[in-house]
Chain A
C-alpha cells in the first residue's frame, strides 16, 4: 500500500516506452528511493551532472543551489559517498533540480531517516513546490504527506482508491481504516 500526494502537473502526459533520457528531457525529474548519488564524486560534481545542457542551464546555478542548502555548501568538495542519509537525499533532490524539471517524482524520500531529518526533508520539498515545480511525492508515512501536499491519493492493489485534499482526507476514517491502518 502506498500513499500518493501531488501538486498540479500542467504538462502533457509523458509517452510510455521512451528512453529514460528522453523522458527526462520532456521535463520530468526522478528522485529514486535508492538515491543513487555518485559516491566517488564530490557534491559539486554530482550537481554538475544534474545539468542537462551546460549551454542552456536551468533556473539555478550550482552556487545558488549551494546557498539555498548550507549543509551541502559545507560539504561541496567532499566525496558524496561520505554524506549522511539526509544529506544524500538533499543532494539527490538538488541534483535533479539542476536539470530544471517541470515535475519531479520523489520516491520515498524519508526512507531510513531520523524523525528530525524527515521534518527537514519535508520542509525542503514544500520549498521546491513553492518555486513552481510540480511534485509527485510517493510516501508510506502519512505525516509528511498530509503536512505538505495539496492533494492526496491513496493507492491500493495497484489502483487509486481515494483522491482528495488533505483536509477532506482527515475526515475519511473509512479510507484510513480500510487501506492505511494495520
Chain B
C-alpha cells in the first residue's frame, strides 16, 4: 500500500518537474520551430545559481532570485544570439543551441568545479511530512509539489486569462499578423524565451538539492525532456503536461514494482535460472520513457495532443 502511495506522490512530483522543463521547451519550439538543445542547461544553471545564492543568503531568496537570473540569461541569449542566428535558418539555430549546451557546461565546470557541489535541502524543510505504514515521506517533496502546482496555475492564468497571454499565444501561431496589429513580436519572443528558461531554472532550484548538482545534470535531464515534448506532441502545452505526468508515474511505479520477468512470464516457462528471467521490472524504469518515445513515433507521430507531425 505504501508503495502505491509513495509511487503516486513521487510520480506526480517528478512529472510536474518534467513539465516545468518541458513547458518552456515546447513554448520555445512553437516560437522558433526548432528544439532548444540547451534547455536543460538552464535547468542546471538554476541549481548552481541557487547553490551560490543560498550560500550567501538563504534558500528562500534563492528560490525567487535564481529563476529570475536564469530567465535574464535566457533573454540575453535570445536577443543577442538566437535572433541573429535566426536569419540563417533552422539548422543554424539548432547548431547554435547545441553549441550553447556545451558552452554552459564548460563554464559551469570552470566556475563551480567538475565534481558535484553541496547544494542541500534547507533545514526548515528537512523533516518527515507524514508517515504511511511505517515509511515516512519527506516534507521537502511536499514543498516541491506545492511549488510545481503554483507554477502550473501561474502559467495557466498567464496564458489563458491575461491579454499578454493572448498576445503570446497569437504570436506563436501568427507572428506576422500580430506584428501588423502593432504588437512588438521580437520583444514577445524574447520574453517567452526568458520565461521558458526561468521555468527550467526553477526546476533546477527545487530539484538540484534532492538529485545531484553537478556539471552532468543537464545532459542527464536533456533527453528525458525531449521525450516528454515529443510524446506529448510538439508545441502542445496540454500534451507536455499529460506526457510529463505519464512518464513521471510510469517511471516511479516501475521502480516500485519488486518483480522479475520470471514472476510475470513464469507461465511461459521463464524461470529465475534463465538470464532473461532475472531481469527486474524496477531496473527497466529508466528505459521506459525511451520505449514510449519509440512507440509513439511509430504509431502516433504527432504525439498525444500535437497538431502537426514531426
Contact = CB atoms under 8 A, between A and B. Distances in A.
B180 A30 contact: yes
A96 interface: yes
Given A38-B170, A38-B173, A21 B183 contact: yes
A52 B180 contact: no
A20 B170 contact: no
Interface stretch (A42-50, A65-73, A126-134, A164-172): A42-50
Given A24-B180, A49-B167, A50-B181, 16 more contacts: A19-B179, A19-B184, A20-B180, A32-B177, A36-B174, A36-B176, A38-B170, A38-B174, A40-B173, A49-B181, A52-B181, A52-B182, A52-B183, A96-B180, A96-B181, A99-B181
A176 to B, nearest CB: 33
B256 to A, nearest CB: 39
B185 interface: yes
Contacts of B181: 21, 24, 49-50, 52, 95-96, 99
B84 interface: no
Greatest chain B CB density within 10 A among A38, A41, A49, A96 is at A49
How many chain B residues sit at the interface, stated as a range, is 10 to 19
Interface of A: 19-21, 24-25, 29-30, 32, 36, 38, 40-41, 45, 48-50, 52, 54, 95-96, 99
B308 to A, nearest CB: 14
A57 to B, nearest CB: 12
A52 B181 CA distance: 7
Contacts of B163: 48-49, 54
B52 to A, nearest CB: 38
A59 to B, nearest CB: 15
B128 interface: no
A50 to B, nearest CB: 6
Interface of B: 163, 166-167, 169-170, 173-174, 176-186
Contacts, number: 56
Contacts of A21: 179-185
A32 B184 CA distance: 18
16 contacts: A20-B180, A21-B183, A25-B182, A29-B180, A30-B180, A38-B173, A38-B174, A40-B169, A49-B178, A49-B183, A50-B181, A52-B183, A54-B163, A96-B180, A99-B181, A99-B182
B179 A24 contact: yes
Greatest chain A CB density within 10 A among B163, B174, B183, B184 is at B183
Greatest chain B CB density within 10 A among A19, A24, A52, A99 is at A24
A21 B185 CA distance: 8
A45 B174 contact: no
B35 to A, nearest CB: 23
Contacts of A25: 182
A30 B180 CA distance: 6
Nearest to A54: B163
Contacts of B167: 49
A19 B183 CA distance: 10
A20 B176 contact: yes
Nearest to B167: A49
Contacts of A40: 169, 173
Nearest to A96: B181
A20 B178 CA distance: 9
Contacts of A24: 179-182
Contacts of A95: 181
Contact of A49 (B166, B176, B186): B166
Nearest to A95: B181
A48 B162 CA distance: 11
